[in-house]
């Protein structure tokens, strides 16, 4: 049985998780947001219990519960007092395999999702991040927004949610994880009593096409009135999870823009004071995901900040990382990694990720060694092989009339597109 247990008697509390390899990648085209709506609908409780009675049942058990939907997974998580483990486990089983999926709940959740999209327009940072992925990946599934958009939500009905559940969850694969004040034998016995026969998770790596970078440097200005501060994201494709260059690139990126002492932060904030934060992020998935730099300069400095970041990027790709910067990045990654495994629930999450997201087990078991063994040559070769300083997507949330001309003058820019911030 695909059950994972991380015992710990530190507290009389148990954390449980049912993990399913189903996420927004399974959203049909034109129905973006369906996976998230379905997950939230399941959270309203099982058949035979109103939402109010379901919440009361959780409260009487001393439990809390959440459903988190991401691009590749749906996670049903709960925490409960040790003495109430079995009744909560039975309740969780009903939530996942006998959900009510009521039309009245769906209508409320859909209105809430629509309101959240409207609220998102007020958050420039989130708005920029969503527009960046859409611009970078285009029609590829990685460009879909988890919460959908106004048009896609309008197309989704309760029947679509029920069909999505039946197709992807009702008889699909799942994993079970339990951590805390439990024993392995006890967990296996309880899961066997209250859950269907556990199947191994599906890995839909072949279902996702390869990502492609758009040639050249392309600017997208998300036009929003009266912006004195802008949100600036510059990026390209990064790495795949199963990429031999992933760890060298992870170390190199950490040295460049992953810490306060990296050249990106030092030049943007320390020397010029253009942005409070200046970081680069490396994402990875079954196909190449995004690598990007994010800053938040004032409108008057936005194009200058972008030009500086482009120059720093070129220096990083062409000149590589210094030995002292590399060693600092390795120590930082190794020393901070302890916080990813200092509790039983975190160790359990890592084990579930290995099975659910097709992450090599060595990434968890040998993380410190994989980071420590990276050489400067490997890091620099990985940067040149994976990070393009020529094929870039540049997204800025700003008042277009204030910045358009200066962004058109950035070196190597092939196109500038202006889109209204509320187009969705």
Residue 404 lies in a domain: yes
Q: Average of pLDDT values for 288-307?
A: 98
Shared domain check, 346 and 293: yes
In the sheet that holds 392-398, the strands lie side by side as 278-282, 290-295, 231-237, 392-398, 217-223, 413-420
Q: In which element (H, E) is residue 380 found?
A: helix 376-386
pLDDT attached to residue 196: 87
Q: What is the DSSP string of 296-333?
A: --BGGGHHHHHHHHHHHHHHHHHH---HHHHHHHHHHH
| The last residue of a domain, from among 153, 175, 207 | 207
pLDDT-derived band at 82, boundaries 50, 70, 90: very high
- The b/e string for 141-165 (b: 16+ C-beta within 10 A; e otherwise) is bbbbbebbbeebbeebebebbbebb
pLDDT given for residue 400 in this prediction: 97
On whether both 190 and 75 belong to a single domain, the answer is: yes
172 and 106 both lie in a single domain: yes
**Which residue in 219, 225, 32 sits closest to 144, CA to CA?**
32
Domain count, the chain: 2
Confidence of residue 1 (pLDDT cuts 50, 70, 90): low
Residue 91: its H or E element: helix 85-97
Looking at residue 207, its pLDDT comes to 79
- Cα separation of 156 and 114, whole Å? 12
CATH value at residue 263: 3.30.830.10
Judge if 181 and 323 occupy the same domain.
no
Element (H, E) at 264: helix 263-265
Higher-pLDDT residue of 220 and 198 is: 220
Largest Cα–Cα distance in the chain? 67
Q: Is residue 294 over pLDDT 80?
A: yes
Percent of the chain whose predicted confidence (pLDDT) is above 90 = 95
Mean pLDDT score, 323-346: 96
The whole-angstrom separation of Cα 311 and Cα 407 is 14
50 within a domain of the structure (yes/no): yes
The set of residues, in sequence order, having a beta carbon less than 8 Å from that of 321 and lying 6+ positions away, is 252, 255, 256, 329, 376, 379, 380, 383
Residues 186 and 260 in one domain: no
Residues 373 and 308 in one domain: yes
Same domain, 245 and 131: no
Nearest to 276 by CA among 252, 299, 254, 294: 294
By residue range, what is the domain housing residue 328? 217-420
User: Is there a single domain that holds both residue 229 and residue 178?
Assistant: no
What does the pLDDT read at residue 199?
61
The pLDDT of residue 198 is 64
Residues 130, 242, 29: CA angle, nearest 5 degrees: 40
Does one domain contain both 150 and 105?
yes
Domain-embedded: residue 255:
yes
* pLDDT tens per residue, range 248-257: 999 999 999 9
Say if residue 202's pLDDT is above 70: no
Q: Kindly state whether residues 269 and 322 are assigned to the same domain.
A: yes
On whether residue 285 sits in a domain, the answer given is yes
Q: What integer best gives the mean pLDDT of the chain?
A: 95
Please give the Cα distance from 242 to 286 (Å, whole number).
Answer: 7
Element (H, E) at 417: strand 413-420
Per-residue pLDDT tens digits for 45-60 = 999 999 999 999 999 9
- Greater confidence, 204 or 150? 150
Position 197 scores a pLDDT of: 79
Q: Are residues 234 and 152 in the same domain?
A: no
- Does the structure show a pLDDT above 60 at 63? yes
Q: What are phi and psi of 46, to 5 degrees?
A: -85, 170
Same domain, 320 and 342: yes
**Token digits of residue 296:** 């938040």
- Give the tens place of pLDDT for each residue, 378-421: 999 999 999 999 999 999 999 999 999 999 999 999 999 999 99
Span 121-139, pLDDT tens digits: 999 999 999 999 999 999 9
Last residue of a domain, one of 156, 189, 207: 207
Task: Check whether 200 has a pLDDT greater than 80.
Answer: no
pLDDT band at 205, cuts 50/70/90? very low
Predicted model pTM = 0.93
Enter the tokens of residue 45: 């409780």
157 inside domain: yes
Give the residue from 165, 187, 207 where a domain finishes.
207
Query: Is 212 contained in some domain?
Result: no
User: Residue 109: its pLDDT value, please?
Assistant: 97
């Amino acid at each position: 049985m695909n059950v994972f247990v991380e015992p710990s008697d530190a507290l009389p509390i148990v954390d449980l998780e049912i993990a399913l390899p189903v996420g927004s990648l399974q959203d049909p085209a034109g129905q973006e947001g369906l996976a998230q709506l379905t997950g939230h609908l399941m959270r309203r409780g099982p058949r035979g219990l109103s939402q109010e009675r379901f919440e009361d049942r959780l409260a009487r058990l001393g439990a809390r519960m959440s459903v988190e939907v991401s691009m590749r997974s749906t996670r049903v998580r709960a925490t409960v007092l040790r003495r109430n483990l079995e009744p909560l486990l039975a309740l969780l089983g009903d939530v996942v395999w006998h959900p009510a999926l009521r039309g009245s709940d769906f209508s409320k959740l859909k209105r809430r999702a629509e309101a959240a999209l409207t609220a998102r327009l007020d958050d420039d940072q989130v708005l920029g991040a969503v527009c960046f992925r859409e611009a970078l990946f285009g029609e590829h599934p990685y460009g879909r927004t988890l919460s959908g958009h106004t048009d896609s939500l309008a197309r989704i009905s309760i029947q679509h949610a029920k069909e999505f559940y039946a197709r992807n969850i009702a008889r699909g694969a799942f994993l079970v994880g339990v951590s805390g004040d439990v024993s392995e034998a006890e967990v296996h016995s309880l899961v066997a009593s209250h859950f269907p026969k556990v199947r191994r998770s599906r890995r839909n790596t072949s279902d996702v096409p390869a990502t492609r970078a758009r040639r050249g440097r392309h600017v997208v200005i998300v036009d929003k009135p009266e912006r004195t501060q802008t949100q600036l994201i510059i990026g390209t494709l990064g790495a795949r999870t199963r990429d031999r260059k992933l760890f060298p690139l992870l170390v190199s990126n950490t040295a460049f823009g992953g810490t306060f002492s990296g050249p990106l932060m030092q030049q943007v904030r320390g020397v010029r004071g253009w942005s409070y934060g200046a970081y680069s992020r490396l994402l990875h998935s079954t196909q190449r995901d995004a690598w990007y730099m994010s800053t938040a300069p004032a409108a008057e400095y936005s194009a200058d900040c972008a030009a500086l970041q482009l120059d720093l990027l070129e220096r990083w790709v062409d000149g590589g990382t210094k030995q002292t910067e590399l060693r600092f990045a390795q120590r930082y990654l190794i020393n901070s990694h302890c916080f990813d495994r200092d509790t039983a629930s975190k160790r359990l999450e890592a084990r579930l990720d290995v099975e659910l997201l097709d992450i090599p087990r060595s990434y968890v078991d040998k993380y410190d060694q994989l980071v420590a063994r990276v050489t400067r040559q490997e890091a620099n070769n990985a940067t040149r092989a994976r990070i393009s300083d020529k094929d870039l997507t540049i997204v800025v949330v700003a008042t277009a009339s204030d910045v358009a001309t200066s962004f058109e003058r950035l070196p190597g820019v092939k196109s500038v597109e202006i889109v209204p911030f509320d187009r969705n």
